[in-house]
Amino acid sequence: MALPPLATAQTTITVPTTPAAEAEDLPVQGEELAVLTDAPNVPPPITRKHPTKVKVELEVTELVKRMADGVDYTFWTFGGSVPGKFIRVRQNDEIDFVLKNHPSSKMPHNIDLHAVTGPGGGAKATFTAPGHQTNFSFKALNPGLYIYHCATAPVGMHIANGMYGLILVEPKEGMAPVDKEFYVVQGDFYTSGKYGEPGLQGFSMEKAIEENPDYVVFNGSVGSMTGEKALKASVGETVRLFVGNGGPNLVSSFHVIGEIFDRVYQEGGSLYQENVQTTLIPAGGSTICEFKLDTKGEFILVDHSIFRAFNKGALGILNADGDGDLLVFSGQKKDEIYLPEGGAIQTIPSDTATAPVASNKEERIKAGQLIYDQNCAACHLPTGSGVPAAFPPLAKSDYLNADVDRAISTVLHGLQGEITVNGAKYNSVMPILGLNDEKVANVLSYVYSQWDNSGVEVTPDQVAKVRASK
């Protein structure tokens, strides 16, 4: 059966050949080579009032780079960095895109730009073998901030190895000027070893499928925006963050501790919301956050799925220098003793019961295990492995085994400040547990008997001697 015609001779259907935004724009004039930058840097704003022909050249390289202190990983990169180069163009620009795959690469790669209107976002057109380069072109029809990523099979593996970045298509009328712009992309990584396990780590497909990452980081590594690498701005300046989420799996709850976003352009689009505390960024998505710095200090960028920040690496720093405004934020004004209803200052936990006296080492270890489970396992874990970057391990601990009196003093009096355990630095707080001499001896005897530690027995007399020396 024949289908009826779409229109009769008396009916005319006009289909516009270009979007309205393009039709209202100036014609394409001239050409230029795109300025590409590594995170956290952003190319300069576009000042021209007309679209142009823009050439973008991007090289894929497979490189061993730092994931964390003492931990390396073979990243697959767009331009030698994770995230890949920041690309900045204007609405209605005509982009001539060249993808080069370095001869040293072991894998073919391609690129899917979410800013592209066309099949695969350019993925099929840019399937590129090692030692080859491919080319395609597209018109940047829609303004916004867009993720790009590799889409070569297995797609998840290519993204999980760091193959993503951001492309900004500025609206034809331009963007409001700000003082500072920064480029931040979150990614989740799946390594053969656990978080902090030293050496060159491989990719774990099993963990990736289970969506159980060992690392969740900003800009490709733990500490990429801390210390000397922290972002820098000044009081009174306006800041714009171009934030992406490469995934491949996790949704980001992006937050800057101590700041409220004046505007958030949700999912990198044209609509914005004002006065936002935390914003969701889907895997394969983005957002633009803008705010003014009203006082000085250290502002912490996190994924507010908070264990990712403090235990997996999703943490950065923005340092704002200048004069603080004490009306905006005073800082600590007092630190006073608090005695509710006349009570005494408490230690946690309070130890008032008399511990049973152990008659031999075996009884001491057995009693010590109960004390460990009640007081220590929450931080150092039942296996004594600790929590990387938070609580040091007790298992096979060089710090513990080197000095028994120091270990006794730590349990008696607590510990604060940076220490190094098994080559890793920790800067957390060990509280005063309020244990008597018998219990301190028991729990330390238990710890020394476990996890390839020295096996030494600690006695109450040793504890009493250390306590008296304080």
List, for residues 158-176, the tens digit of each pLDDT value.
Answer: 999 999 999 999 999 999 9
Please answer whether residues 426 and 400 qualify as being in contact, where contact means their C-beta atoms are separated by less than 8 angstroms.
no
Which range has the worst mean pLDDT, 218-222, 238-242, 318-322, 374-378?
374-378
d(Cα 108, Cα 111) in Å, to the nearest integer? 11
pLDDT bracket for residue 336 (50, 70, 90): low
Q: Is the pLDDT reported for residue 19 higher than 70?
A: no
Mean local confidence (pLDDT), 222-241: 96
Q: Is the pLDDT reported for residue 6 higher than 50?
A: no
The proportion of the chain whose per-residue pLDDT surpasses 70, expressed as a percent, equals 90
Report the Cα 66 to chain-centroid distance in Å. Answer: 14
Report the Cα 186 to chain-centroid distance in Å. Answer: 5
Instruction: For residue range 70-91, list pLDDT tens digits in order.
Output: 999 999 999 999 999 999 999 9
In 10 A of CB 155, how many CB atoms? 16
Tokens of 466: 């250390």
d(Cα 377, Cα 393) in Å, to the nearest integer? 11
pLDDT bracket for residue 420 (50, 70, 90): very high
58 DSSP β-pair partners: 99
Mean local confidence (pLDDT), 431-460: 90
Highest mean pLDDT range out of 6-10, 47-51, 350-354, 423-427? 47-51
What order of strands is seen across the sheet that includes strand 180-189?
215-218, 180-189, 238-247, 285-292, 261-265, 272-276
Where helices occur in 324-403 by DSSP H, the ranges are 361-375, 377-380, 398-402
pLDDT bracket for residue 52 (50, 70, 90): very high
The residue written with tokens 């490189």 in the block is 63
**Burial bucket for residue 197 (CB in 10 Å: 0-12, 13-18, 19+):** middle
Peptide bond into 27 cis (omega under 30): no
Residue 14, H or E segment: none
Q: Which pLDDT score is estimated for 11? A: 32
Mean per-residue pLDDT over the chain, rounded: 89
Q: Which pLDDT score is estimated for 344? A: 43
Angle, helices 437-449 vs 404-413, to 10°: value is 130
In 10 A of CB 348, how many CB atoms? 9
Q: Is the pLDDT reported for residue 104 higher than 90?
A: yes
Is pTM beyond 0.75 here? Answer: no
The proportion of the chain whose per-residue pLDDT surpasses 90, expressed as a percent, equals 72
Q: Is the pLDDT reported for residue 4 higher than 60?
A: no
d(Cα 413, Cα 435) in Å, to the nearest integer? 10
Neighbouring residues of 176: CB distance < 8 A, sequence distance ≥ 6: none
Output helix, strand, coil percentages for the chain, rounded to the nearest 5: 20, 30, 45
d(Cα 262, Cα 274) in Å, to the nearest integer? 5
Q: Which pLDDT score is estimated for 389? A: 74
Q: Which pLDDT score is estimated for 181? A: 98
**Complete DSSP assignment for 39-81:** TT--PPPP--SS--EEEEEEEEEEEEEEEETTEEEEEEEESSS
Q: Let me know the angle formed at the C-alpha of 182 by 262 and 185, rounded to the nearest 5 degrees.
A: 100
Mean local confidence (pLDDT), 205-226: 97
d(Cα 228, Cα 144) in Å, to the nearest integer? 31
pLDDT bracket for residue 133 (50, 70, 90): very high
Angle, helices 437-449 vs 361-375, to 10°: value is 90
Please answer whether residues 263 and 273 qualify as being in contact, where contact means their C-beta atoms are separated by less than 8 angstroms.
yes
Instruction: For residue range 270-289, list pLDDT tens digits in order.
Output: 999 999 999 999 999 999 99
Which range has the worst mean pLDDT, 82-96, 249-263, 292-306, 387-401?
387-401
Output DSSP code: residue 325: -
d(Cα 91, Cα 26) in Å, to the nearest integer? 11
Q: Which pLDDT score is estimated for 337? A: 61
Q: Is the pLDDT reported for residue 60 higher than 80?
A: yes
In 10 A of CB 216, how many CB atoms? 24
- Does 367 or 127 have the greater pLDDT score? 127
Q: Which pLDDT score is estimated for 345? A: 39
266 DSSP β-pair partners: none
